[in-house]
Amino acid sequence: MIPPDHPRYRSLVIRERLARCAREGVVALEGLAAHGRAEAFDYLIGEKSTATAREAARVAAALVHKARHPVLSVNGNTAALAADECARFQEVTGCGVEVNLFHRSEERIARITRLLEEAGATVLKGAPERLIPLQHDRALCLPNGIGSADLVLGPLEDGDRCEALRAMGRTVVTIDLNPLSRTARTATLTVVDELTRAMPLITEAYREMSPGEADALVQNLDNHYLLQAAIAEIVRELSRALD
């Protein structure tokens, strides 16, 4: 039992949840390593949504507004950490939700689907096809889901798939605490923030956004600028660390 007054209580509770979800087969063991790296970056941004993250979340909402067929792509870590936030995002935006895994097995797909459905999401189902030119199983997706989406919101996106989707002309929005990752640099837009903080920011921005604001934000979209700003925030945070 983790004592609630422990200074790292939230972080320890999340680790415990991920470890349990790994034992249950929702999270891949590799997902625990991915989380550890993300935790380190979260430390560097001060474990809060920065001004740049909030700005990027608004741009993400604007892109979803402009999309014809947006699909939220969910992997094991995303379901374990943010099933409720995914369901709420779908409720507000009406987007499709599809489970798409790097370490794919039918059993994991079923478990993650169940977790999302228990949170209230409607998950796309059907016969997946190799619709993305990739050697690994993230190529497998549904023709009425990621296969035909004009925008894929892929939190914790994989660099290869991000590049492949971009080469196919798709808009890719990702949430990634690492502003240096290949995904962060190749996505149309990267929100450098922790998943469970970023998803509600995007959802609420979507809910309150006027069509005029969405147009303006999409016209001025500059992912390179936002990544540079995120890195500058890390540098500022570091320079204050021992003050």
Please report, as ranges, the residues that interact with ligand PTJ according to CB under 6 A: 28, 30-31, 34-35, 37-38, 41, 75-77, 81, 101-103, 156, 158, 175-178, 181, 194-195
d(CA 153, CA 198): 12
Q: Would you say 87 or 195 has its CB closer to ligand PTJ? A: 195
Quickly count: other Cβ atoms within 10 Å of residue 192's Cβ. 28
Q: Would you say 27 or 214 has its CB closer to ligand PTJ? A: 27
d(CA 35, CA 33): 5
Q: Would you say 47 or 117 has its CB closer to ligand PTJ? A: 47
Query: CB of 37: closest distance to ligand PTJ in angstroms?
Result: 5
Q: Give me the residue whose beta carbon is nearest to ligand PTJ.
A: 76
Q: Would you say 49 or 77 has its CB closer to ligand PTJ? A: 77
Query: CB of 156: closest distance to ligand PTJ in angstroms?
Result: 4
Query: CB of 148: closest distance to ligand PTJ in angstroms?
Result: 21
The continuous run of DSSP H or E covering 42 comes out as helix 29-44
* Burial class for 237, CB neighbours closer than 10 Å (0-12, 13-18, 19+): middle
Residue whose token pair is 């790097």: 102
Query: CB of 166: closest distance to ligand PTJ in angstroms?
Result: 16
d(CA 110, CA 113): 5
Query: CB of 186: closest distance to ligand PTJ in angstroms?
Result: 12
Query: CB of 31: closest distance to ligand PTJ in angstroms?
Result: 4
The continuous run of DSSP H or E covering 98 comes out as strand 96-99
Q: Would you say 214 or 234 has its CB closer to ligand PTJ? A: 234
Q: Would you say 83 or 214 has its CB closer to ligand PTJ? A: 83
| 231, HSE (Cβ side, Cα atoms, 13 Å) | 11
Q: Where on the phi/psi map is residue 191: left (φ > 0), alpha (ψ -120 to 50), or beta?
A: beta
